């Protein structure tokens, strides 16, 4: 039995690069098998349901602010904060699907991303409609690793010192 790129060592165990597992998808994104389509539908529905539930919770929090009579300025400030943080979290999450995020930047944005969690959920929903979130990034890295592995393991034939010289 061989792995995804069809290589084995002499003991029969696969060699070469392994695909990185994606959250909720494992390695089904490589060949789109083992329920990949159902997982994508589940991820899309789940993230949309979570975003709707989060919006309902935020609505209840906003109603609590109105009942507390905190004033128009505080209400506008809270709505603007959640809107801006959600937009930034959406953009950050969306960009994270196409390139590896910087860990230091992610650490500094942790609070902002926590406040704008609705934006992250919506980004996950929209990406799930077309592919497994992060699939394109991981596929590119995996195919590059396969090419590099194949380039390293291909063997030349013949003795290069006996090569005919062109005149």
The SS3 of residue 14 is strand
pTM of the shown model: 0.78
Confidence at residue 158, expressed as pLDDT on a 0 to 100 scale: 65
> Alpha-carbon distance 81 to 63, whole Å?
16
Segments of the chain with pLDDT less than 70: 1-14, 156-160, 162-163, 165, 167
SS3 for 67-112 is HCCCCHHHHHHHHHHHHHHHHHHHHHHHHHCCCCCCHHHHHHCHHH
Confidence at residue 151, expressed as pLDDT on a 0 to 100 scale: 84
Confidence at residue 1, expressed as pLDDT on a 0 to 100 scale: 39
State residue 131 phi and psi, 5-degree precision.
-160, 170
Which residues make Cβ contacts (< 8 Å) with residue 39, sequence separation at least 6?
24, 25, 28, 132
Contact 125, 44 (CB under 8 A): yes
Q: Which of 139, 52, 133, 65 lies closest to 95, judged by CA?
A: 133
Which residues make Cβ contacts (< 8 Å) with residue 66, sequence separation at least 6?
75
Confidence at residue 3, expressed as pLDDT on a 0 to 100 scale: 46
């Amino acid at each position: 039995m061989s792995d995804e790129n069809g290589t084995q060592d002499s003991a029969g165990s696969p060699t070469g690069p392994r695909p990185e597992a994606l959250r909720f998808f494992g390695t089904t994104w490589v060949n789109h098998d083992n329920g990949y389509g159902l997982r994508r539908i589940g991820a899309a529905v789940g993230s949309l349901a979570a975003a709707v539930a989060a919006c309902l919770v935020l609505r209840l929090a906003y109603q609590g602010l109105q009942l507390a009579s905190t004033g128009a300025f505080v209400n506008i400030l809270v709505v603007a904060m959640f809107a801006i943080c959600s937009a930034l979290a959406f953009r950050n999450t969306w960009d994270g699907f196409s390139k590896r995020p910087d860990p230091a930047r992610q650490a500094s944005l942790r609070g902002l991303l926590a406040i704008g969690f609705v934006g992250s959920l919506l980004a996950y929903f929209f990406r799930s409609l077309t592919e497994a979130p992060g699939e394109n990034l991981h596929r590119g890295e995996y195919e590059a690793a396969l090419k590099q592995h194949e380039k390293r393991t291909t063997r030349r034939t013949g003795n290069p010192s006996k090569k005919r010289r062109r005149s």
